[in-house]
Amino acid sequence: MNNFYWLIIVFCLFVSYGCESSSTDLAQPTPSLKTAYEPSFFIGAAAGTSHILGEDSAALQLLQQEFNALTAENDMKWMHIHPQPDSFHFDIADRFIQLCLDNDMYAVGHTLVWHSQLADWVQEVEDSAAMAKVLQHHIATIVGRYKGRIKAWDVVNEALNEDGTLRSSIFYDLMGEAYIEEAFKQAAIADPEAELIYNDYNMWKPEKRAGAIRLVKNLQEKGIKIDGVGMQGHWSLVGPDLVDIENSIREYAALGVKVHITELDITVLPNPWDLEGAAVEQNFDAYIGDERMDAYRQGLPDSVQQQLAERYTGAFKIFLKYREDIKRVSFWGIHDGHSWLNGWPIQGRTNHPLLFDRTYQPKLAYQQLLDLP
Ligand code: G3I
């Protein structure tokens, strides 16, 4: 073939490539949860260590495609980030922030003060003044490091009992309610722009709601900054009643704070003795391997898939109704294979609580939520 024919072939290839790329440019972007809900609120997820470190590329792809808010599921908890009085481990938290920055995600810091997953040394603190110093050092160091990059902090996590009274913990036992005030004060000093949240489970329960409202009002009356209430959302196919969820959203919003749905998942498996919420100290080892408690090992039947979708759409209809008051809805995980609910309250079960299954495929609930707004 002479040079003239080669030139013709190259020219044709160039023209056809140009046409193809311009038609791709005109194509609609793939629909996603984050774009569908962008006018209303952020759609978030919790990332496990393997996701943050990029070891699960399929999960990472889902994160990038579907979500615009991110929480580290475990890596910023006290025992991991501040294991000794003078030693902080920031490696994974730094990677988490980078992941959020690279993907333009609203980064959530979880969590500064929590009785669980605490470093052992904190349990040895002896008096109120010493604990106040520990809180100041912990919060100033971590919030200060991520100033301007973490957009919202779960400042205090799970401080309430189910009846709305304050839970006994090393913080409460030494300082009383002042530990909550101190934590919020220190967080506001370290990053005045960050949104500061009180986060808990079973926030739909009227008694617990009353306790949370009292806690928020106490801070507000003392002029201490609080911007949001986090309703964790560890729910099931049968409860809580959507009316209770709606009442809580409305009443928290009436305080002038934003509502964050922070840890949403819907268990499809039974809980022993109608257990509610997410208290991690509860576990039921006697049921390990019990098939009656683990009915969907081979997959979720269509009828239950349908129930899950209805439950999610029921909740999201309420979220959309209160879109002005809701800042974010975050799922507690990315796909079923990685959910903490495979290990709690009974270890080794096959649960199906999220929108993506074990093969990273969207479930019926995903499709229905995508079509809802
Ligand atoms: O990192 C160790 C690993 O080295 C070890 O081999 C493995 C063996 O069990 O355990 C690993 O630690 C586990 C850790 O998750 C990371 O996977 C812990 O045992 C396990 O207890 C821990 O569970 C976490 C739980 O908080 C602990 O409190 C869950 O992943 C996490 O989803 C859950 O999240 C909490 C929120 O922070 C607060 N609200 C409730 C929610 C659900 O409990």
Mean pLDDT on 346-361: 96
- Residue of higher predicted confidence among 54 and 279: 54
pLDDT of res. 285: 73
Confidence band of 82 (pLDDT split at 50, 70, 90): very high
CA angle 328, 330, 336 (to 5 degrees): 160
Q: Is the CB of 116 under 6 A from ligand 1?
A: yes
Q: Report the candidate in 305, 259, 26, 286 with the shortest Cα–Cα distance to residue 152.
A: 259
3-state secondary structure of 350: coil
What pLDDT is recorded for position 19? 39
Q: Give residue 30's pLDDT band: very low, low, confident or very high (50, 70, 90).
A: confident
Cα(178) to centroid(ligand 1), Å: 28
Q: Are 232 and 199 in contact (CB under 8 A)?
A: yes
Is 263 designated active site?
A: yes
Please name which of 304, 269, 272 lies closest in space to residue 287, comparing C-alpha atoms: 272
pLDDT at position 278: 57
How many other C-beta atoms can be found within 10 angstroms of the C-beta atom of residue 21? 9
Going from the Cα of 57 to the center of ligand 1, the distance in angstroms, rounded, reads: 21
The answer, yes or no, to whether residue 17 has pLDDT greater than 50, is no
Active site residue 158: yes
C-alpha–C-alpha distance, residues 96 and 255, integer Å: 32
Q: What are phi and psi of 195, to 5 degrees?
A: -85, 130
Q: Which residue, among 132, 142, 143, has the nearest Cα to 180 in the 3D structure?
A: 132
Are the C-beta atoms of residues 96 and 52 closer than 8 Å to each other? yes
> Percent of the chain scored above 70 by pLDDT?
90
What percent of the chain shows pLDDT beyond 90? 85
**Model pLDDT for residues 205-235, shown as the tens digit of each residue:** 999 999 999 999 999 999 999 999 999 999 9
85 pLDDT exceeds 90? yes
What is the position in ligand 1's atom list of the atom closest to the CA of 344? 43
Could you report the per-residue pLDDT of 282-319, keeping only the tens digit for each?
Answer: 667 777 777 778 999 999 999 999 999 999 999 999 99
3-state DSSP call for residue 126? coil
- Residue 330 binned pLDDT confidence (cut-offs 50, 70, 90): very high
Q: Is 280 in the pocket of ligand 1 (CB under 6 A)?
A: yes
Query: Does residue 345 surpass a pLDDT of 50?
Result: yes
